[in-house]
Amino acid sequence: MSRWAAVLAGGSGTRFWPLSTRSKPKQFLPLAGDRPLLAASVARLAGLIPGERILVVTGAPLVEETRRLLPDVPPENVLGEPRPASTSPALAWATAVARAKDPGASVLSLHADWYVGDAAAFRETGARALDVAEEHDVLVTVGIVPSRPEQGYGYIQPGDRLAGDARRVDRFVEKPDAERAHQLIEGGALWNSGLFAWTATRFFAETEAVAPEIAPHLPLLATGDVAGFFAAVTPIAVDISHFERSTRVAVVPGAFPWDDVGTWSALTRVRMVDADGNVIVGNAISRETEGCIIWAEDGPVVVDGVCDLVVVRANGVTLVTTRERAAELKSLLDTVPDHIRDGAS
């Protein structure tokens, strides 16, 4: 039995606009340090999954840049989706590729754009998730031990003990309000990270059992008709198609620092913050400024006497918004002309 990783590396370039664009989405950006998030995510697997067994699923237009950023991953292991169809079809494809190489394969699924503060603990938890998937023939999700009552994450309520620290999943709770988040944490709930593990055999058995959006089209993958498969499936997240429907789901806890780096405001959690609570990257100057995120990539930015703003200069565009409204960039971009949305430089 061989162990594989499936790294989800699609992206539309909306969350960190104007720094991110359709051709350079979030996973290509050094948001949490000196390296692009994608490169850091793959490097973090070293010692757990070898490069030749890392599969990266991305959009077809992003394949070449993804290969350039990942020289230790064989080029043929970078899989370009014919169309975006959410995570379940992408992971069915990656799992099918792993199974074709080894019918006994198991897969660790992760996203390319996370921040992880302890790589060794991440690998230990990933190995534990794979152990549970292999030994107990279940789909496994890793639940992050919460550090705050986050309203932007889903939660997992653990149920009966399976083995050691592994438990059956009682239920999933989607993005609660603040009061409910406090109650969930007090009751032992974990953040639903999206770090998953399964054997290929169990994944496809559950696909046939509970995922009608995917199952009828699996023969297309078996014959190598990837384009036909993606054209036929109904887009759906694996969280819904498999984890929320299956009765064979377990959770193991992950105690490492983790963040999905979902908005500009998240940079205050994953980067150094100055004495006034600002994150400043690039050629920027601030005076009497508190709680701001300032990113100056292609020209100087001066910020004076303001609080809780996001100020970004990148790709010939300047964005000024509040930290709260920065979470709504997708709706903003729906109103922005394409020549500005994709960078004016």
How many angstroms separate the CA atoms of 88 and 100, rounded?
18
Element containing residue 297 per DSSP (H, E): strand 293-304
102 and 249 assigned to the same domain: yes
The pLDDT, as a whole number, for residue 345 is 44
Q: 11-29 burial by CB neighbour count: b if 16+ within 10 A, else e? A: bebbbbbbbbbbebbbbbb
Distance between first and last Cα of the chain:
50
Looking at the DSSP assignment, which residues form a beta bridge with residue 282?
296
132 and 271 assigned to the same domain: no
245 and 271 assigned to the same domain: no
The pLDDT, as a whole number, for residue 344 is 53
107 and 162 assigned to the same domain: yes
125 and 199 assigned to the same domain: yes
57 and 197 assigned to the same domain: yes
CATH of the domain at 60: 3.90.550.10
The pLDDT, as a whole number, for residue 151 is 87
The pLDDT, as a whole number, for residue 299 is 85
Looking at the DSSP assignment, which residues form a beta bridge with residue 196?
109, 141
The pLDDT, as a whole number, for residue 224 is 94
325 and 220 assigned to the same domain: no
Write the DSSP string, 76-126.
Answer: GGEEEESS---HHHHHHHHHHHHHHH-TT-EEEEEETT-EES-HHHHHHHH
Task: Among 239, 259, 279, give the residue marking a domain's end.
Answer: 259
Q: How many residues does the chain have?
A: 345
Taking only the tens of pLDDT, the chain with its 345 residues reads 899 999 999 987 789 999 999 889 999 999 999 999 999 999 999 999 999 999 999 999 999 999 999 999 999 999 999 999 999 999 999 999 999 999 999 999 999 999 999 999 999 999 999 999 999 999 999 999 999 998 889 999 999 999 999 999 999 998 898 899 999 999 999 999 999 999 999 999 999 999 999 999 999 999 999 999 999 999 999 999 999 999 999 999 999 999 999 999 999 999 999 999 999 999 999 999 999 999 999 889 999 999 999 999 999 999 999 999 998 998 999 899 988 887 754
Element containing residue 170 per DSSP (H, E): strand 166-173
Task: Among 208, 241, 259, give the residue marking a domain's end.
Answer: 259
Task: Count CB atoms within 10 A of the CB of residue 315.
Answer: 20
Strands 293-304 and 309-314: parallel
How many angstroms separate the CA atoms of 42 and 5, rounded?
9
Give the domain range for residue 224: 3-259
Residue 206 contacts residue 242 (beta carbons within 8 Å): yes
240 and 332 assigned to the same domain: no
51 and 194 assigned to the same domain: yes
| Sign of the four-CA dihedral 333, 240, 45, 265 | positive
283 and 188 assigned to the same domain: no
102 and 200 assigned to the same domain: yes
In the structure encoding, which two tokens stand for residue 269, read together? 């959690």
Task: Among 259, 288, 304, give the residue marking a domain's end.
Answer: 259
Residue 224 contacts residue 156 (beta carbons within 8 Å): no
Q: How many domains does the chain have?
A: 2
253 and 268 assigned to the same domain: no
